[in-house]
Structure 1
Amino acid sequence: MILAVAGVITASEPSWIAPFAGLSPRAFGKLMTQLRREGGDAPGRPWKLSLEDRVLLVAAYWHTNLTLRQLAPLFGVSKSTADRVIDHLGPRLALAPRRRFAKDAVLIVDGTLVSTRDHQVAEQSKNHRYSTNHQVVIDADTRLVVVVGRPLPGNRNDCRAWAESGAQQAVGNTTTIADGGYLGTGLIMPHRRRKGEELPDWKQAHNRSHKRVRARVEHAFARMKTWKILRDCRLRGDGVRHAMHGVARLHNLALTG
């Protein structure tokens, strides 16, 4: 079946983009414009595929999580060529962390676990799988991802991962909302009920409002994990970091259209 359709997937045919990249043709076009401005097709060894098709291949790998043996023939290239394309373009597709935030900006942070085959960068976590912990920060207003921390072993709790991943430094003093797992970080968390006591009505109302707003980061995780690489990452070394940062960028493009 794969051989029968070998080489037919190409970015020049817009109908392939949404099912394989998870982006509309318009959003994919915006991505290509950005990449060219960033020098994405720098001089060097010529590639068999155009830049558009190479970007589509990387996005398709992240979105479908097909093995390279399955994916490469669909683009008419060898497994080794597909591997080189992902190694070359994956880091270039990474989300650039926001450097400045408006004074009235409100951010939301939470950690998400990505199951990873590379046990050198992962540890068994609460989901009983080898995972990495990724601290993700979104803008509460736009719901766009603004910062993704460095991946840490999945047995790190969010409070520790917040500091060690670099996310805390990237956010600085910007107002940031978090759940109850970030004790001692100075972030805005829900009010805690002491044993044997009930929270006053105003604190309960604040917690309900906090929960509604904080749910936006959970929705972001759900959208990001439609790129199936974040459900079971087979990449080694920095591959999981490149995939997470790349998917964050694709998520933002998909959200803005």
Structure 2
Amino acid sequence: MAGVITASEPSWIAPFTGLGPRQFGKLVTVLRREGADAVRRGRPWSLPLEDRALLVAAYWRTNLTMRQLAPLFGVSKSAADRIIDHLGPMLALQPRKRFAKDTVLIVDGTLVPTRDHTIAEQSKNYRYSTNHQVVIDADTRLVVVVGRPLAGNRNDCKAWGESGAKDAVGNTLTIADGGYPGTGLVMPHRRRKGEELPDWKQAHNKSHKQVRARVEHVFARMKTWKILRDCRLKGDGVHHAMLGIARMHNLALAG
């Protein structure tokens, strides 16, 4: 069965990955170096590594079912499912382990509607969701850490520590919104009842809001990947999708 979509035709790469052909080629080279194309026992892959990487990206971007996606690449539903299970984790972003002394980070939580109710809970968006703590570099806007997903009813101040994001950034200066009390993060000043904030605090809050908005811009770009609007993957699938999309975001941003 011949497929319609293939990485050998460069025009298919950007719509699904957000990357140029050269960036995509570098990504595939890294995957190959990490063993994604190693010879394995049993049935060989029916697609070259380039097409397999594009298939995973197309699934995350469009959220098509396996029945819809597989014919586009000329493979069976089970083959498409195996490709996603195998390559999805290998596309995951690796968290940054070291930060310069003057680095400023921004953290915020985002909810991903998730159908696997063993890891999701009803949340403020009225859907079963998972809470993902995402940390970006305030200067470059690159994603540096994505915490493990927690139930969507977990508030951000608890998810910050329980997801592993807090340990990953260590003592690096990190900005957050007002939903992280008691965490030691840099939050906006709060106005007490019956009091007005002094001018310097109002100016600080304005500056804080402008900088923190950068993480919202990152979320807006990441949520163009439809898998983050309604994830059907089970277990670690939603985590791998978030990490893989973060990696694609960074590659596209880095140019």
TM-score (norm 2): 0.97
1:191 pairs with 182, 189, 192, which one?
Answer: 189
RMSD of aligned Cα (Å) = 1.1
Task: Structure 2: give runs of 5+ residues left out of the alignment.
Answer: none
1:90-126 C-alpha deviation (Å, 9 max, x unpaired): 0000000001000110000000000001111100000
Q: SS at the partner of 1:53?
A: helix
**Equivalent residue for 2:51?**
53
**Equivalent residue for 1:25?**
21
TM-score (norm 1): 0.96
* Contact persistence 1:176–1:187 (CA under 8 A): yes
Supply the distance in 2 between the matched residues of 1:194 and 1:221 (Cα, whole angstroms): 31
2:110 pairs with 104, 109, 112, which one?
Answer: 112
2:224 pairs with 226, 229, 233, which one?
Answer: 226
Task: Report how far residue 207 of structure 1 moved.
Answer: 0.3
**Equivalent residue for 1:166?**
164
2:30 pairs with 34, 40, 62, which one?
Answer: 34
Task: Report how far residue 73 of structure 1 moved.
Answer: 0.1
Supply the distance in 2 between the matched residues of 1:92 and 1:203 (Cα, whole angstroms): 45
1:15 pairs with 4, 11, 27, which one?
Answer: 11
Q: SS at the partner of 1:136?
A: strand
- Partner letter of residue 58 of structure 2? A
* Contact persistence 1:22–1:227 (CA under 8 A): no
* Contact persistence 1:69–1:79 (CA under 8 A): yes
* Contact persistence 1:22–1:63 (CA under 8 A): no
Supply the distance in 1 between the matched residues of 2:181 and 2:29 (Cα, whole angstroms): 42
Q: SS at the partner of 1:98?
A: coil
Q: SS at the partner of 1:113?
A: strand
1:4-23 C-alpha deviation (Å, 9 max, x unpaired): xx502110100011122232
Task: Report how far residue 156 of structure 1 moved.
Answer: 0.3
Counting only pairs closer than 5 Å after superposition, residues 233-248 of structure 1 correspond to structure 2 as 233-248=231-246
Task: Structure 1: give runs of 5+ residues left out of the alignment.
Answer: none
**Equivalent residue for 2:148?**
150
Q: SS at the partner of 1:168?
A: helix
* Contact persistence 1:64–1:227 (CA under 8 A): yes
Task: Report how far residue 185 of structure 1 moved.
Answer: 0.3
1:100 pairs with 98, 101, 110, which one?
Answer: 98
Supply the distance in 1 between the matched residues of 2:29 and 2:199 (Cα, whole angstroms): 51
Q: SS at the partner of 1:216?
A: helix
- Partner letter of residue 20 of structure 2? S
- Partner letter of residue 198 of structure 1? E
1:163-194 C-alpha deviation (Å, 9 max, x unpaired): 00000000000000000000000000000100
1:38-81 C-alpha deviation (Å, 9 max, x unpaired): 22212204211000000000000001111111000000000000
Supply the distance in 2 between the matched residues of 1:68 and 1:21 (Cα, whole angstroms): 18
Q: SS at the partner of 2:118?
A: coil
1:132 pairs with 130, 133, 151, which one?
Answer: 130
Q: Percent identity over the alignment?
A: 84
Corresponding residue pairs, total:
253
- Partner letter of residue 139 of structure 1? D
**Equivalent residue for 1:62?**
60
